[in-house]
Structure 1
Amino acid sequence: MKSAIEQLSTYKSVHLNPTNIKTHFVGIPLIIWSAFVMLNTIPFSLYSFGSTGLELNVAVLFACAVLIYYFALHAKLALGLVLFILPVLYTSFLVSRMEQAWPIAIGVFVIGWIFQLIGHKYEKAKPAFIDDLNQLLIGPFFLMAELYFMLGLERDLDEAITPLARDKRRALTHASKHDN
């Protein structure tokens, strides 16, 4: 498994533009929330928590699996992601029980991707997942890292990934110039 530094520097290499990062702070949570609405509609439940209406279902199992992956990468960032995912799980579960759950989820999903694509226009670089589908999982992890950095936390991690990201970006830019 690639380290957190490797994963984050690869992701950051195509997310250096501040406007792109801002659009991702909108787009990625929208995409995640809408995906969890869809996952919550899958008619499979291992356990129901009585009067709360909450269930141990595909959405919860997926969230747990991804969080385990994040904890394996970097425990402190994973703790922040737990705080992010809990309200996502709850609100997406509630919406998934509505008659219009799928149209709502699809609409939010499309809006989220529009934000992503607008950001990459500013970045002038293709999204990271084009070359590595695992980078779809790294997007939320990257945003949590960026939030920590904005708060002055995990400075060592920032100092480790940013120079690597810039080097990777230079290599990508150099390679694309030679491909044309």
Structure 2
Amino acid sequence: MKSAVEQLSTYKSVHLNPTNIKTHFIGVPLIIWSAFVMLNTIPITFLKLTEPTLVLNVAGLCAVGVLIYYFKLHVRLALGLTLFIIPVLFSSYYVAQIEAAWIIALSVFVIGWVFQLIGHKYEKAKPAFIDDLNQLLIGPFFLMAELYFMMGFEQDLNQEITPLAVAKRRELEKGAPTA
């Protein structure tokens, strides 16, 4: 398994433009939320308690699996992602109960991807997942890292990944065809 530094520097290498990062702060949460609405519509429930309401279904199982991966990468960032995913799980569960759940989810999903694609126009680089599908999981992890950096946390991590990301970007640009 690649380290958090490797994963984040690879992702950041195509996310250096501040406008692109801002669009991702909108697009990625929209995509995650809509994906969880869709996962919540899968009629497999492993555990359901009515008082208090607790449901472990495909969406919850997926969240637990991804969070385990994040905890293996970086505990402090994973704690932030856990705080993010809890309201996503609850709100997506309730939206999945309404008749128009799939229409809502697909609409939000498309809007999220529009933000992503607009951001990459500013970046002038293809999305990270084009070369490595695992980077789809790193998007939320990267945004949590960026949020921590903005708040003054994990500055050693930021100082470690940024030069690596810039170097990776230079290598990508060397290999890019010139127009």
How many angstroms apart in 2 are the aligned matches of 1:32 and 1:54?
20
Q: Deviations over 1:76-121 (max 9, x none)?
A: 0000000000000000000000010000000000000000000000
SS in 2 for 1:47: strand
Moved over 3 A (4+): 51-54
1:25 paired residue number: 25
1:74 paired with 2:74, answer: yes
RMSD: 1.0
CA offset at residue 26 of structure 1? Answer: 0.1
SS in 1 for 2:98: coil
CA offset at residue 61 of structure 1? Answer: 0.3
TM-score (ref. length: structure 1) = 0.97
Question: After superposition, where does 1:99-178 map in structure 2 within 5 Å?
Answer: 99-177=99-177
- Structure 2 gap ranges (5+): none
How many angstroms apart in 1 are the aligned matches of 2:3 and 2:167?
17
How many angstroms apart in 1 are the aligned matches of 2:51 and 2:72?
34
SS in 2 for 1:8: helix
SS in 2 for 1:46: strand
How many angstroms apart in 2 are the aligned matches of 1:34 and 1:101?
9
1:56 paired residue number: 56
Q: Deviations over 1:30-77 (max 9, x none)?
A: 000000000000000011021454411000000000000000000000
CA offset at residue 17 of structure 1? Answer: 0.1
1:37 paired with 2:40, answer: no
1:16 paired with 2:16, answer: yes
How many angstroms apart in 2 are the aligned matches of 1:49 and 1:153?
38
- What code does the residue aligned with 1:80 have? G
Question: Which stretch of structure 1 is more off in the superposition, 53-62 or 109-118?
Answer: 53-62
1:96 paired residue number: 96
Alignment size in residue pairs: 179
SS in 1 for 2:2: coil
SS in 1 for 2:47: strand
- Structure 1 gap ranges (5+): none
CA offset at residue 177 of structure 1? Answer: 3.6
Question: Which stretch of structure 1 is more off in the superposition, 51-60 or 97-106?
Answer: 51-60
